């Protein structure tokens, strides 16, 4: 039977994962699910862990659900290791958002200065996990959800040497759903090709007659009827894109492109949230508290509707499906953060990219993308990737100069005095979780 270990098991998303496994019970010969957390997350782990046990029992399954704070022992003989941890918990995210905003620049979980600091805190931990895996489960797959998922995945593959890593995100799932609704065609009758990096990818769509439908979708989604309700991401403000610019791309943007393509509006909205004490982390803290109150109910044995208030809702559709597809060589078509290997010729071979492909027993096989014909797309993604590589190097070396380099190259952070001021303030605020600096 399979042993699946989840690091950050105390996450409020755990019922989402358990539900995904239960839905795939015929494909997944699970023996044991181990939820791992740390001392600071012990209470959350116990509450959501008890909930996970009730869910499994209610489904009539004999899977063992184990809760532990001992990561190394937990990893022994694991087949799959999934990661969904947040170093510093939501309090650290509050700082990632609020400190940059207090200086008038964007503060966001995976973008700008906040995303960089989440990477600084997380990358040393993922590399430690890999060291444990080398000893305890050298053949296991690492399924990473931990944000910033693209940089964490790149660090795992390139610096941790863990080739059997797949990085996942729920954003592409929402774009597939939107395309299917707008074209009024089942998603099975459409072919999708995504390419870019995590939270910064574009996609193209074809129908089953072979006709490309990307430009039609651009008209339907970003044309004169552009609609705030089409933003499927609960965590991102629904500002409208500029139609002409998207037309010029001939590719559909992802929700996170708003931070770059309509930066000023997004910043203005974020500053408002900041002033009202309503940045996303602050809102999520309340949602999380409500969720844990629900999870405490000994009668509750299924995922509550309330979880759909979180941005990562339906993420098990990615996490559980990739496990099922590797396990059963299903060739499921998915969008995965993986080693580039020339898939996108505009980016380095050894970096992580987020692209479409199929999931086989030997892992993810990406579809070739080639180059971005639009130099505007090529320019910005090369800039972003150079930034990510610099962030990863700074995170590993604890190198102040590299950190400042990454800040300076990030499109959402102005260079010069402000970059240094925000960097210094954040290094100080997060110092407990940044032993490398
Ligand atoms: P959370 O704040 O609930 O943290 C999850 C758990 O991680 C907590 O119980 C915490 O105690 C634990 N943790 C912290 N440091 C740890 C460590 N060193 N080892 C083991 N566990 C540790 O976070 P959340 O809101 O549930 O999100 C979890 C993670 O998943 C975040 O990194 C988030 O950004 C990411 N996420 C990614 C996607 C995606 O699209 N890839 C979707 C949703 C969430
Ligand atoms: C989206 C992104 C995730 C991110 C989440 C935030 O789903 O894909 O990477 O973690 O939103 O949601 P939250 O509810 O934590 O703001
Ligand atoms: Mn994501």
C-alpha angle with apex 81: 169 to 300, nearest 5 degrees?
75
Residue owning tokens 């998603």? 187
Q: Which atom of ligand 2 is nearest to the CA of 169?
A: 8
Bridge partners (DSSP) of residue 33 are 4, 65
Q: Is the pLDDT of residue 313 over 90?
A: no
Q: Which atom of ligand 1 is nearest to the CA of 129?
A: 19
Ligand nearest to the CA of 167: 1
CA of 235 to the centre of ligand 1 (A): 16
CA of 313 to the centre of ligand 2 (A): 8
Q: What is the C-alpha separation between 377 and 382, in angstroms, rounded?
A: 8
Q: Supply the pLDDT for residue 367.
A: 98
* Residue nearest (by alpha carbon) to ligand 2 atom 13: 311
Closest CA to 119 of 173, 197, 45, 235: 197
Neighbours of 317 (CB within 10 A): 16
CA of 60 to the centre of ligand 3 (A): 32
Q: What is the C-alpha separation between 323 and 28, in angstroms, rounded?
A: 8
Q: What is the C-alpha separation between 340 and 142, in angstroms, rounded?
A: 17
Ligand nearest to the CA of 174: 2
Catalytic residue (choose from 256, 260, 295, 315): 256
Confidence bin at 47 (pLDDT 50/70/90): very high
Q: What is the C-alpha separation between 184 and 180, in angstroms, rounded?
A: 6
Q: Which atom of ligand 1 is nearest to the CA of 44?
A: 9
Q: Supply the pLDDT for residue 314.
A: 77
Q: What is the C-alpha separation between 84 and 149, in angstroms, rounded?
A: 10
Q: What is the C-alpha separation between 41 and 89, in angstroms, rounded?
A: 8
Taking CB atoms and a 6 Å cutoff, what residues make up the pocket around ligand 1? 7-8, 10-13, 36-38, 40-41, 44, 84-87, 89-90, 125, 145-147, 149, 168-170, 312, 315
Q: Supply the pLDDT for residue 295.
A: 97
Q: Supply the pLDDT for residue 230.
A: 83
Taking CB atoms and a 6 Å cutoff, what residues make up the pocket around ligand 2? 147, 169-171, 233, 235, 280, 284, 310-312
Averaged pLDDT, 236-247: 95
Q: Supply the pLDDT for residue 129.
A: 98
- Identify which of 18, 20, 41, 155 to mutate to test ligand 1's pocket (most ligand atoms within 8 A of the CB): 41
* Residue nearest (by alpha carbon) to ligand 1 atom 44: 312
Q: At what angle do helices 14-23 and 316-328 cross, to 10 degrees?
A: 40
Contacts 24+ apart (CB under 8 A), 88-93: 88/121, 88/430, 88/432, 88/433, 89/40, 89/41, 90/281, 90/284, 90/285, 90/288, 92/117, 92/118, 92/121, 92/430, 92/433, 93/118, 93/280, 93/281, 93/284
**CA 48 and chain centroid, separation:** 21
Bridge partners (DSSP) of residue 190 are 207
Confirm whether 256 is a catalytic residue: yes
Averaged pLDDT, 297-315: 90
Q: What is the C-alpha separation between 436 and 261, in angstroms, rounded?
A: 34
pTM: 0.98
CA of 8 to the centre of ligand 1 (A): 5
Q: What is the C-alpha separation between 354 and 147, in angstroms, rounded?
A: 14
Q: Supply the pLDDT for residue 253.
A: 98
Q: Is the pLDDT of residue 110 over 90?
A: yes
pLDDT digits (tens, 9 = 90+) for 373-389: 999 999 999 999 999 99
Q: Supply the pLDDT for residue 144.
A: 98
Q: Percentage of the chain with pLDDT > 70?
A: 100
pLDDT digits (tens, 9 = 90+) for 400-434: 999 999 999 999 999 999 999 999 999 999 999 99
Averaged pLDDT, 329-333: 98
pLDDT digits (tens, 9 = 90+) for 58-83: 999 999 999 999 999 999 999 999 99
Q: Which atom of ligand 2 is nearest to the CA of 199?
A: 8
CA of 32 to the centre of ligand 2 (A): 27
- Identify which of 111, 153, 233, 312 to mutate to test ligand 2's pocket (most ligand atoms within 8 A of the CB): 312
- Identify which of 88, 90, 109 to mutate to test ligand 2's pocket (most ligand atoms within 8 A of the CB): 109
CA of 311 to the centre of ligand 3 (A): 8
CA of 147 to the centre of ligand 2 (A): 9
Rounded to a whole number, what is the largest CA-CA distance in the chain?
60
Confidence bin at 368 (pLDDT 50/70/90): very high
Closest CA to 237 of 253, 256, 221: 256
Bridge partners (DSSP) of residue 68 are 36
* Residue nearest (by alpha carbon) to ligand 1 atom 29: 84
pLDDT digits (tens, 9 = 90+) for 149-174: 999 999 999 999 999 999 999 999 99
Ligand nearest to the CA of 143: 1
Q: Supply the pLDDT for residue 231.
A: 81
Residue owning tokens 């995945």? 153
Closest CA to 109 of 183, 30, 51, 169: 169
- 260 φψ region: left (φ > 0), alpha (ψ -120 to 50), beta (else): alpha
Q: Is the pLDDT of residue 97 over 80?
A: yes
Contact (CB, 8 A) for 229 and 198: no
């Amino acid at each position: 039977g399979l042993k699946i270990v989840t690091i950050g098991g105390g996450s409020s998303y755990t019922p989402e994962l358990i539900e995904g496994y239960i839905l795939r019970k015929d494909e997944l010969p699970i023996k044991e699910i181990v939820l791992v957390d740390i001392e600071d997350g012990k209470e959350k782990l116990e509450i959501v862990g008890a909930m996970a046990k009730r869910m499994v029992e209610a489904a009539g399954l004999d899977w063992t659900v184990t809760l532990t704070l001992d990561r190394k022992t937990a990893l022994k003989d694991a087949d799959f290791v999934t990661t969904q941890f947040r170093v510093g918990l939501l309090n650290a995210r509050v700082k990632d958002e609020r400190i940059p905003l207090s200086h008038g620049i964007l503060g966001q979980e995976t973008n700008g200065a906040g995303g960089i600091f989440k990477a600084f805190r997380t990358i040393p931990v993922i590399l430690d996990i890999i060291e444990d895996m080398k000893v305890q489960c050298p053949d296991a797959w690492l399924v990473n959800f931990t944000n910033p998922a693209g940089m964490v995945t790149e660090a795992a593959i390139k610096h941790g040497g863990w080739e059997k890593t797949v990085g996942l995100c729920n954003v592409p799932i929402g774009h597939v759903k939107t395309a299917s609704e707008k074209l009024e065609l089942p998603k099975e009758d459409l072919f999708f090709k995504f390419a870019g990096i995590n939270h910064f990818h574009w996609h193209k769509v074809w129908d089953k007659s072979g006709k490309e439908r990307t430009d039609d979708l651009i008209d339907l989604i970003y044309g004169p009827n552009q609609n705030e309700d089409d933003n499927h991401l609960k965590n991102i403000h629904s500002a409208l894109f500029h139609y002409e610019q998207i037309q010029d791309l001939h590719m559909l943007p992802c929700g996170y492109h708003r931070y770059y393509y309509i930066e000023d509006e997004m910043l203005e909205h974020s500053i408002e949230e900041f002033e009202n004490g309503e940045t996303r982390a602050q809102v999520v803290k309340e949602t999380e508290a409500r969720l844990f109150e629900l999870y405490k109910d000994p009668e509750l044995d299924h995922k509550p509707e309330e979880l759909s208030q979180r941005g990562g809702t339906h993420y098990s559709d990615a996490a559980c499906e990739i496990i099922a597809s590797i396990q059963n060589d299903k060739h499921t078509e998915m969008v995965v953060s993986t080693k580039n290997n020339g898939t996108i010729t505009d980016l380095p071979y050894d970096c992580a990219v987020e692209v479409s492909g199929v999931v086989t027993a030997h892992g993810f096989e990406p579809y070739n993308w080639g180059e971005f014909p639009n130099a505007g797309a090529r320019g910005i993604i090369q800039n972003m990737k150079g930034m990510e590589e610099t962030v990863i190097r700074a995170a590993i070396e604890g190198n102040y100069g590299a950190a400042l380099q990454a800040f300076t190259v990030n499109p959402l952070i102005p260079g010069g005095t402000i970059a240094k001021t925000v960097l210094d303030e954040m290094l100080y605020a997060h110092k407990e979780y940044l032993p490398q600096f």
